[in-house]
Amino acid sequence: MLLLDVGERLRNDLYDAVETALSARELTRAAALMTRIVESQPFLRHQEWHTFLRWLRQFPEEILRESPTLSQTYAMVLLFTTQRRTSALKPQFEKYLQMAEQCLQALGNLPRLGEVLTLHALLSKHVDDYTTMVRCATSALTMLPDEERFWRGLALALLGMAALVAGRMSEARQLIHEAWKLNPVPSERSYARRGALLQQGYLALGVGHLEQAVLLMRQVLGSAGDDRTNQGTALLLLATSHMKRSAHTSAERRVSAPLSR
């Protein structure tokens, strides 16, 4: 408990320091402090998206272009603070992803470039741009080291999703299985967990395991909170599962009706 209290105090001190630096227009210092906050825990575990957006809006592009961490965070923040994730959002987040990609390419930092490309694939998936998603995820896998479990697992999972959407069930099962070996489903009520459950639901629906798909989507709804995108996807899959189940029941009745006469 003492360690947690100390960690929380240090975290609060960093947040206060960012606010103070921004108020004083010490933007370089504020950027360095924010970078420490972002890099203090796994990228997708952050929850302070609206605070991050308020901070990032105060930085000039020169600072963002020189900081892959901040520019990729800006792209992610735009996704998580936008309720309607349409194709109109794509040029907004791609602007900041391309800043990060160009900086890392110039530095020759391929592992970090692989991480940003995986994020690019993830955000493209949210606006239904599967062509970009597949391109970025495939490129990322050539750059990410074998020991990088999280980002490799995410890239594989996204390729598995693309295979599911295309109806290539065997390929999808193989890719998603490889992704799960790298990143077992998280236990907490998190964005990563909901994404994994949605993938399992798509897969279950695709192979005809309707009851399993329904159970998985109910788990997503139980943990989605205000995430309308996850809510909408889960409700759509639930409706599809119920429609398929009704169709199967109707077909069984039609087949059995002549036998009962």
**Residues 21, 27, 33: CA angle, nearest 5 degrees:** 60
191 band by pLDDT with thresholds 50, 70 and 90: low
Are 201 and 124 in the same domain?
A: no
152 within a domain of the structure (yes/no) = yes
13 within a domain of the structure (yes/no) = no
Residue at a domain's end among 171, 194, 213: 171
Which pLDDT tens digit goes with each residue over 94-147? Answer: 999 999 999 999 999 999 999 999 999 999 988 989 999 999 999 999 999 999
Question: Does residue 257 register a pLDDT over 60?
Answer: no
Are 120 and 161 in the same domain?
A: yes
Highest mean pLDDT (candidates 136-140, 235-239, 240-244): 136-140
In the numeric block, the tokens 């069984």 are attached to 252
CA distances from residue 231 to 53, 100, 137, 219, 237 in whole angstroms, order as listed:
23, 30, 25, 11, 10
| 49-56 helix and 68-80 helix, angle to the nearest 10 degrees | 130
148 within a domain of the structure (yes/no) = yes
Find the domain containing 227 and state its range.
185-250
Task: For 194-253, give the DSSP string.
Answer: HHHHHHHHHHHHHTT-HHHHHHHHHHHHHH-TT-HHHHHHHHHHHHHHHHHHHHHHHHHH
Tally of domains in the chain: 2
- pTM, 2 dp: 0.75
218 within a domain of the structure (yes/no) = yes
pLDDT of residue 260: 52
Count other Cβ atoms within 10 Å, centred on residue 8: 10
Q: Which of 121, 139, 199, 207 is nearest to 167 (CA)?
A: 207
36 within a domain of the structure (yes/no) = no
Is residue 78 within 8 Å of 92, Cβ to Cβ?
Answer: yes
pLDDT of residue 255: 47
Judged by average pLDDT, the poorest of 43-47, 101-105, 168-172, 252-256 is: 252-256
Question: Does residue 77 register a pLDDT over 70?
Answer: yes
Greater pLDDT, 151 or 259: 151
66 band by pLDDT with thresholds 50, 70 and 90: very high
Q: Which of 142, 141, 187, 143 is nearest to 160 (CA)?
A: 141
